[in-house]
Structure 1
Amino acid sequence: MMKSIALAALLLGSAAASPLAAAEAPASPMVERIAPDRLKISWSAKNAVDVYMSDKADAVATASALVSARDRDGVHEQAVKPGERAFFLLKNQQDGGTIRVAERVLPLEQGSNFRDIGGYPAAGGRQVKWGMIYRSGATPLLTEGDLKLIEGLQLGNMVDLRSSEERQLAPSRIVGVPYNAVGYSMAAITNAMKSSNGGALANGGALYRRMPDMMAPQFRVLFDRLLANRGALAYNCSAGQDRTGLATALILSALGVPRDVIIADYHLSTQYRRPEYETAPFDPAAFPDNAAARMFARYKGTKPQPLKDADGKAFLSSALEEIDQRYGSVEAYLDKALGVSAVDVAALRATYTE
């Protein structure tokens, strides 16, 4: 039970610790939006903690605003502008140990599952940087306020993992950012769903086992853009859970994040999806040959379901097991299937962890 609580705190608040490992940083940090204009920051620590705030993900204490000094109760509430993206640095008063924390999910009015994958423990005792890599569902209905918030992320690239039909039905409202996609038909996904489930259109581990091969061209582009390091990057599919979920697992694996943490992050999609904002309204009759239109019409109005097979096994686990069985490891899959070498992995860790 305690392990589950600690993991939940890591996922919802997930912090990136300072490289000064000798110092004792505050533990279990978390940021929750308790009102449109108010954030709650919580942590545990034996000593008093200074809380600093910045709009920069990598800001040091001297370049941040001190919003709470010598705080001993482990909780601070901070007023912010609605939609403002804030990063907090918690500093142990006694030895200077620091830990960084931010909201996991962006406070978008009409977005779905748009979240930062920063803060997770990575290779070498490091953590994934905040504010560098974002995963999301489709973004066809973002409001002007949403677009302003996303503009503040200073995205250098977007990678769209969706099929050609999905992109036709629900084009992204995010403009002015270099955009990457590899065309393919949604029929490839729906046919695999049917053949994996006796003719029924259903998600599951059997479909996921096909995804490492099916999505390899898209994943190659994603890692190419990550290695190009031209600023923060966002990637998405329609729901931000399946194709995006496997893409995230590959990225976090490359950065050395433990698999149990990767699986737990994957399951957050059930909580953070908002399907009503993942596609714009359309008339299915106007798209008779569009496989995505048929699938969206079928699932319209349904609530997000747990991403597990009947035996409780995460769909994602099946994809990772397939990779392990066929290639030996995720690292070997990255190398042999995607052309991401050990040198590239080292470069990714140098760029996206701290």
Structure 2
Amino acid sequence: MEIKKVFSVVFLLVLTLQGCSYKTTYQPIEYSSMVNDKPRIVEQSNKYIGVFDKGDRIIDPTPLNITEDKVNFTHTDRKFFTVVHKEDTLVVSNREIDFRKVHNFRDLGGIPTSEGRYTKWGKIYRSGHLHKLNSKEKEKVVSLGITTIIDLRTDKEIGKKPDKIPNSLTYHNYQAYDDSEDMFSKTKKDVLKGKLTPSQADSLVVEFYSLYPTHDIKKVREIVLTILDNSESTLFHCSAGKDRTGMIGAILLSILKVEQQVIIDEYLLSNNYRVEEVSSRMKLAKFGKFLYPKINYQVIENFSWIKPMYIQAMFDGIAKEYGSMENYILNGLQIDKEKQREYIEKYTQ
């Protein structure tokens, strides 16, 4: 065991110095088309770029007729712009929030609902874990108006990588998944030993998704209500910000009357925003082949990327248990129509 630890350190050093290619995935990966929406704002190295259709007009804060596809904004603070786009008046901002030490950080604002409304920007955020948050980026979290952090991880995950957040924020840990048997660690060992096939890996993820929203409905309700009842802004996260976070995000958007296909498209943004993270993991896996020759790269991909069929399994699991998402909201989460309408008015416009 000690020899393996030494080799692991060596391979990590080699990886850092030499790198390893992961330009082609071992299976097709589906990405979200939401990143191509216009108009949109993109944050790049503390600068903001607006991507528009010609003819779009910014009416706030300064009237501006768009004559080019891209507009560079000189300010470094996050802004919300009111844009007249194809006769519709929209509020736009940057969906992905740029953090060096936190992956997959994004705003659930600007998403269209079935009622012709849009979710409000700056109210609900989602991300990966906050263990590497430095002092400067802690200030950035506060600047976003976030007052509450909801951590969806298990005790063991938190013990290894506890959140490092500003003292002024309220922290909650809600575990809707009981990992008392440490299945996460056991599965990881099976992956390293090559005991899982790609189809078995998919089946495990699908089963997890199908059970998570109904297994401990009281805990899921507590998570959802803590977010929706907050008078300020909330950030919720798990480890990578893709699976548990993806499901809670899908439930929240369902309550706000976002259509299922749009929810899936938002869910898939985790693939767009985690390319570098997954690439690093796959590079490490290639070097790990020396220690664990039975590693199956496609299995690792199945646990690293997300697929539409995963979140579909969540919807199917809810339908199987409650008949429909509407019944799940009403009878499972115990949010009646009147309360749901209050949330819609609060979080959409």
**What TM-score results when the alignment is normalised by the length of structure 2?**
0.72
Structure 2: any 5+ residue segments left out of the alignment? Answer: 1-31, 279-296
Cα offset for 1:234? Answer: 1.0
Q: Aligned residues: percent identity?
A: 25
Residue 326 of structure 1 pairs with residue 321 of structure 2: yes
* Partner of residue 225, structure 2: 224
Give the conservation status (yes or no) of the 8 Å contact 1:181–1:218. Answer: no
Residue 166 of structure 1 pairs with residue 157 of structure 2: yes
* One of 69, 73, 76 as aligned partner of 2:64: 69
Structure 1: any 5+ residue segments left out of the alignment? Answer: 1-6, 15-27, 53-60, 277-298
What's the RMSD between the two structures over aligned residues?
3.0
* Partner of residue 145, structure 2: 154
* One of 62, 68, 73 as aligned partner of 1:78: 73
* Partner of residue 31, structure 1: 41
- Aligned residue pairs total 284
* Partner of residue 305, structure 1: 304
Deviations 1:27-55 (A, max 9, x none): x212223x41332212225x4x4435xxx
Cα offset for 1:263? Answer: 0.7
* Partner of residue 89, structure 1: 82
Give the conservation status (yes or no) of the 8 Å contact 2:151–2:171. Answer: yes
Structure ranking higher on relative contact order (CA contacts 8 Å, 6+ apart): 2
Matches within 5 A, 1:278-297: none
Give the conservation status (yes or no) of the 8 Å contact 1:158–1:233. Answer: yes
> Judging changes above 3 Å, is the alpha-carbon distance between structure 1 residues 192 and 314 closer, same or farther for their aligned structure 2 residues?
farther
* One of 47, 52, 58 as aligned partner of 1:51: 58
* Partner of residue 35, structure 2: 12
**Which letter does structure 2 place at the counterpart of 1:31?**
I
* Partner of residue 244, structure 1: 245
Structure (1/2) with the larger strand percentage: 1
Give, in whole Å, the separation in 1 of the partners of 2:336 and 2:181. Answer: 28
Give the conservation status (yes or no) of the 8 Å contact 2:238–2:245. Answer: yes
Give the conservation status (yes or no) of the 8 Å contact 2:174–2:223. Answer: no
> Judging changes above 3 Å, is the alpha-carbon distance between structure 1 residues 231 and 153 closer, same or farther for their aligned structure 2 residues?
same
Cα offset for 1:218? Answer: 3.4
* Partner of residue 204, structure 1: 205
Give, in whole Å, the separation in 2 of the partners of 1:29 and 1:218. Answer: 37
Query: Counterpart of 1:41 in 2: which secondary structure?
Result: strand
* Partner of residue 256, structure 1: 257
Give, in whole Å, the separation in 2 of the partners of 1:259 and 1:193. Answer: 33
**Which letter does structure 1 place at the counterpart of 2:311?**
L
* Partner of residue 352, structure 1: 347
Residue 190 of structure 1 pairs with residue 183 of structure 2: yes
Give, in whole Å, the separation in 2 of the partners of 1:340 and 1:224. Answer: 9
Structure (1/2) with the larger helix percentage: 2
Give, in whole Å, the separation in 2 of the partners of 1:128 and 1:265. Answer: 12
**What TM-score results when the alignment is normalised by the length of structure 1?**
0.71
* Partner of residue 55, structure 1: none
Give, in whole Å, the separation in 1 of the partners of 2:160 and 2:139. Answer: 23
Give, in whole Å, the separation in 2 of the partners of 1:108 and 1:80. Answer: 17
**Which letter does structure 1 place at the counterpart of 2:80?**
F
- Over 4 Å off, 4+ runs: 191-194
> Judging changes above 3 Å, is the alpha-carbon distance between structure 1 residues 227 and 339 closer, same or farther for their aligned structure 2 residues?
same
* One of 178, 181, 187 as aligned partner of 2:173: 181
Residue 100 of structure 1 pairs with residue 52 of structure 2: no
